[in-house]
Amino acid sequence: MNEFDLIQSYFNWEITDPSIELGVGDDAALFNLNPGHQLVTSTDTLVEGIHFFKDTSPSDIAYKSLAVNLSDIAAMGAIAKCYTLSLTLPKLDKKWLEQFSSSLKESSKLFHVNLIGGDTTKGPLNITITMMGSIEIDSSIKRSGAREGDDIYVTGDLGSAALCLKKIKEGDKPSQIELNSLNKPIPRLELGSALRNLASSCIDVSDGLEQDLSHILRASNVGAIIDTNKLPLGASVNNYVKDTNDWSMPLCGGDDYELCFTAGQSMRDKISALAESLETRVTRIGTINSQKELEVIGFSGVRSSYQHF
């Protein structure tokens, strides 16, 4: 099997979106955008040994590669549409490809996105997805819109993925629920898109709440105060914090893929109603102020979020 057979066998699926004119197989893909809409695009790479373990299943790797990219589109308030896949593989392993490709196909169906092209090369395992979506002009939620007095919210709960990672690294066996928080993050697509008219700024929490919220603060030229006692925690993180008084998992742990957003206080009722209708936990954790820093009440330990370099 050569590279072209590989693409045909594993990555040339039926396109389910009629606005995509050309997908895999030509020099480039073609698709139409609705009038009055902007293209929203974001890319994320997953590298073996950095973003996933050598023994992570191909199906989990495929799901997560897609989910982390969708999370960025959700954070802009946009609708995801299609994506390209750049795959670098150490060898042509049919079993691996079958599992990866069928999980990617299934996940694409789940999130209503189509694979429209990519690139395939040989080298250390590396998966890059570039996600494309669309949004009405002037309605995206940027990092720069937070204003003094705005509430700060976060979806889901924080720290579970980081705690799972910590357990694996320390040789403990995480539960299936804990493993899911690491391998199966849920991109908050519906919520993100519904926040377009409610939120003043938004970011997805991939490198730790403290660092990602700080990106909002810097872009918006504001400060914030958040209270650790208000942070939403899953059961195992809650126990861990109780035992250790260490808030670094929910504050600085990465891989949550929840949304952190700000909104004016007048939006409180609408945000509660939205959370209820989407059956998604949304928690108010603090307030934007005019200081130029992030103040964290309830934890004075070392705070250091993930950085690649």
Judged by the rule CB under 6 A, the positions of this chain that interact with ligand ADP are: 7, 11, 24-27, 85, 87, 115, 117-120
Which of ligand ADP, Mg ion, none lies near 179, with the C-beta cut-off 5 to 8 A by kind? none
- Please name the residue ranges forming H helices in 195-287: 209-220, 235-244, 248-252, 268-277
Cβ at position 28, least distance to Mg ion in Å: 8
Q: Which tokens go with 248?
A: 């670094």
Helix (H) or strand (E) holding 97: helix 94-110
Which residues form the interface with Mg ion (CB under 5 A)?
27
> Distance between CA 52 and CA 98 in Å, rounded?
19
Cβ at position 27, least distance to Mg ion in Å: 4
Which of Mg ion, ligand ADP, none lies near 170, with the C-beta cut-off 5 to 8 A by kind? none
Which of Mg ion, ligand ADP, none lies near 118, with the C-beta cut-off 5 to 8 A by kind? ligand ADP
Is 241:158 a contact under the CB 8 Å cutoff? no
Phi then psi dihedrals of residue 154, to 5 deg: -140, 145
Which of Mg ion, ligand ADP, none lies near 233, with the C-beta cut-off 5 to 8 A by kind? none
* Of residues 22 and 33, the one with the C-beta less far from ligand ADP: 22
- Residue position matching structure tokens 């590279």: 3
* Of residues 121 and 265, the one with the C-beta less far from ligand ADP: 121
Residue 41 C-alpha from the chain's centroid = 14
Which of Mg ion, ligand ADP, none lies near 7, with the C-beta cut-off 5 to 8 A by kind? ligand ADP
Is the dihedral angle over the CA atoms 243, 248, 254, 260 positive or is it negative? positive
Which of ligand ADP, Mg ion, none lies near 161, with the C-beta cut-off 5 to 8 A by kind? none
* Of residues 117 and 187, the one with the C-beta less far from ligand ADP: 117
Cβ at position 123, least distance to Mg ion in Å: 20
Phi then psi dihedrals of residue 230, to 5 deg: -95, -10
* Of residues 11 and 247, the one with the C-beta less far from ligand ADP: 11
Beta bridge partners, 283, equal: 154
Determine the straight-line distance between the first and last CA of the chain, rounded to whole angstroms. 38
Contacts of 38 (CB under 8 A, 6+ apart): 134, 135, 136, 137, 140
- Angle in degrees, 0-180, between the axes of helices 58-75 and 94-110, rounded to the nearest 10: 30
* Of residues 117 and 208, the one with the C-beta less far from Mg ion: 117
Cβ at position 41, least distance to ligand ADP in Å: 16
Is 195:251 a contact under the CB 8 Å cutoff? no
* Of residues 57 and 88, the one with the C-beta less far from ligand ADP: 88
Cβ at position 84, least distance to ligand ADP in Å: 6
Cβ at position 158, least distance to ligand ADP in Å: 33
Which of Mg ion, ligand ADP, none lies near 253, with the C-beta cut-off 5 to 8 A by kind? none
Cβ at position 23, least distance to ligand ADP in Å: 7
- Angle in degrees, 0-180, between the axes of helices 160-169 and 235-244, rounded to the nearest 10: 70
* Of residues 14 and 27, the one with the C-beta less far from Mg ion: 27
